[in-house]
Amino acid sequence: MTEFASRALGPDLPAALDEAAHRCLVAGFDGTTTVPDTLKRLIDRGLGGVILFTRNVRDAGQVRELTEILRTLRPDLLVAIDNEGGGIGHLVAAGAPEVPGSWALGVADDLRLTAGCADALAGHLLSLGITASYAPVADVQSRPENPIVRTRAFGGDPELVSRHLRAWIAATEARGVASCAKHFPGHGGTVTDSHHELAVDPRPYDRLDLAPFRAAVDAGVPMLMSAHVVFPALDPGRPATLSPRILSDLLRGELGFEGVLVSDALEMKAIADRYGEAAGARLALAAGADQVIVAVPDLEVTLACRDAVLHALASGELPEERVTEAAERVRRLALRYAVPPRPETVAAWDDGAGLTAARRAVRRSGAPLPGAMPGAHVVDLFPAPHPALNWGGEDLLTGVRAFDAAATGTAVAAEPGDVEAVVEAALRAAEGRPLVVATCDAGLYPWQGRVRDALLAVRPDALLVSTGLPEPGGALCAHGRGRVNLRAVAEVLTGRAV
């Protein structure tokens, strides 16, 4: 008997309870045109959802075929994806609408533009057969040192974040796509990234950024995602994803959330290194989560999480009523969102809302716009793309050269081995021509500051651009590194601004 067949038998549980346990799982997988046999078996047992990533995307037609195959296997399967906009997305190859990240939308502060961008993303998802979006980000960027939220947030003011959340959720809901506010009860007050290690928010209860989540609940958001963050003021012993005090008492009891509560990915180091994914799945469901995400394509990890839940049910460690309650919430969500309309019936969306918002954000950077800089040499400094967020590594030089073929420059992604050599090469290439130096969150990445300062020491006339959060001395700020953000800056640098 094969290992999978042996596992598939599992504990001797009633069929309805076995199906309920499977509904509480969301699985990642490999494949663009076929579904792995292991995933087919999980779906047959009642798997609640799948999450797609760039690895599952080749083009729009292929994605539509893949989602149709998945729903042929189970019509009520939720097909979800991270779809925040800006540089955070997995559907570039499938023709995703170009919209700026949330921070730029907050800077533009036009709720019609935010709704237009959310509508475009949701309409595109429907055209591909995807009906659940793990967005928007409800976190408030509260700490300058925060390494993971930053321009993914609408801003640093809870009220501003709240009103843009409401606009985003309403527009997504109007399309019939399930939105998901994340990461409860907030990831913006940490100085670590829970993808890499356990994060802690040390603030007292009255300083936590709960207002946007209250706004999301009041707006009827159908899903919330938990944070792998410890909040000593709420529960000093466990991260939110595993805390009954935070998930059940605070979110369900005090905030009154009745929708589906989904965990952030269990393979993130904050859970995997301290508890293990399998124990994390069991503990998260016991704490009050309704679904747990296993985003890695290794389905053995998903099976281990599933088995931990089944054995905890069989032993009584995980109460049956907790899992059946969770599965019922997932079932109701699926009834409402799982089946998309036919692609040809999806109404068109506004392709211009994103560029309008990105342009508006650049113009609100606080400094007078510079004149055109023809033939500029552009030095674009930015950190390596985050592997979990799948930012595509877009660079400013490409955007500038789209309007000015005489422009030159280099994109420096991650710390160079020889900073002096990079500086010397840039100064030689920029001799006799305008110099543009762009940084992205240089405060978090000191090497960028060293390159910038060395260039300015010789070329104090260089124009400084910020492509992350605003930085001192920047003449322009993109407020994000999405392609449309960088295009809006390129338009200014080349005199194409409208």
Share above pLDDT 70 across residues of the chain, in percent, rounded to a whole number: 97
Which residue shows structure tokens 């420096």?
A: 412
Domain identity same for 187 and 309:
yes
**Catalytic residue list:** 195, 264
Domain identity same for 407 and 466:
yes
Domain count, the chain: 2
CATH code of 218's domain = 3.20.20.300
Last residue of a domain, one of 285, 317, 345: 345
71 within domain boundaries: yes
357 within domain boundaries: no
What average pLDDT does the segment 341-358 reach? Answer: 94
Domain identity same for 248 and 200:
yes
Share above pLDDT 90 across residues of the chain, in percent, rounded to a whole number: 90
What average pLDDT does the segment 335-341 reach? Answer: 95
CATH code of 399's domain = 3.40.50
Domain identity same for 326 and 419:
no
Q: Does a cis peptide bond (omega within 30 degrees of 0) precede residue 97?
A: no
- Position 369 pLDDT exceeds 90: no
Domain identity same for 100 and 203:
yes
Q: Report residue 368's pLDDT band, with 50, 70 and 90 as the boundaries.
A: confident
CB 392 within 8 A of CB 98: no
- Position 4 pLDDT exceeds 60: no
CB 392 within 8 A of CB 376: no
d(CA 194, CA 168) in angstroms, rounded, equals 25
- Position 31 pLDDT exceeds 80: yes
Q: Report residue 182's pLDDT band, with 50, 70 and 90 as the boundaries.
A: very high
Domain identity same for 323 and 458:
no
Residue 364's pLDDT is what?
72
Last residue of a domain, one of 345, 377, 393: 345
Between residues 307 and 368, the one the model is more confident about: 307
For residue 84, what are the contacts with CB-CB under 8 A and spacing of at least 6?
Answer: 101, 102, 135, 136, 137, 152
What average pLDDT does the segment 22-51 reach? Answer: 98
What average pLDDT does the segment 454-469 reach? Answer: 96
Domain identity same for 110 and 167:
yes
230 within domain boundaries: yes
What average pLDDT does the segment 20-27 reach? Answer: 98
- Position 87 pLDDT exceeds 80: no
- Position 43 pLDDT exceeds 60: yes
The tens digit of pLDDT for each residue in 52-62 reads 999 999 999 99
Residue 51, strand partner residues? 80
360 within domain boundaries: no
Domain identity same for 311 and 415:
no
- Position 138 pLDDT exceeds 80: yes
What average pLDDT does the segment 208-215 reach? Answer: 98
What average pLDDT does the segment 428-441 reach? Answer: 97
Residue 422's pLDDT is what?
95
Q: Report residue 390's pLDDT band, with 50, 70 and 90 as the boundaries.
A: low
Residue 89's pLDDT is what?
83
Residue 181, strand partner residues? 224
Domain identity same for 270 and 380:
no
What average pLDDT does the segment 227-236 reach? Answer: 98
Domain identity same for 300 and 425:
no
- Position 11 pLDDT exceeds 90: no
What average pLDDT does the segment 425-435 reach? Answer: 97
350 within domain boundaries: no
* Least confident span in 220-229, 288-297, 376-385: 376-385
Residue 217's pLDDT is what?
98
What average pLDDT does the segment 382-396 reach? Answer: 78
CB 303 within 8 A of CB 311: no
382 within domain boundaries: yes
Q: Report residue 406's pLDDT band, with 50, 70 and 90 as the boundaries.
A: very high
Secondary structure (H, E, C), 445-472: CHHHHHHHHHHHHHCCCCEEEECCCCCC
Which residue shows structure tokens 């240089």?
A: 442
Mean pLDDT taken over the chain? 94
Last residue of a domain, one of 345, 379, 396: 345
Domain identity same for 331 and 396:
no
**pTM: predicted TM-score of the whole model, two decimal places:** 0.95
Residue 88's pLDDT is what?
81
Domain identity same for 381 and 313:
no
Residue 10's pLDDT is what?
64
- Position 497 pLDDT exceeds 90: no
Instruction: Residue 246: give the domain boundaries.
Output: 3-345
Torsion, Cα 191 193 198 201, to 10 degrees, reads 40
Q: Report residue 386's pLDDT band, with 50, 70 and 90 as the boundaries.
A: confident
Residue 366's pLDDT is what?
63
What average pLDDT does the segment 54-76 reach? Answer: 97
Residue 472's pLDDT is what?
86
CB 411 within 8 A of CB 395: yes
- Position 7 pLDDT exceeds 80: no
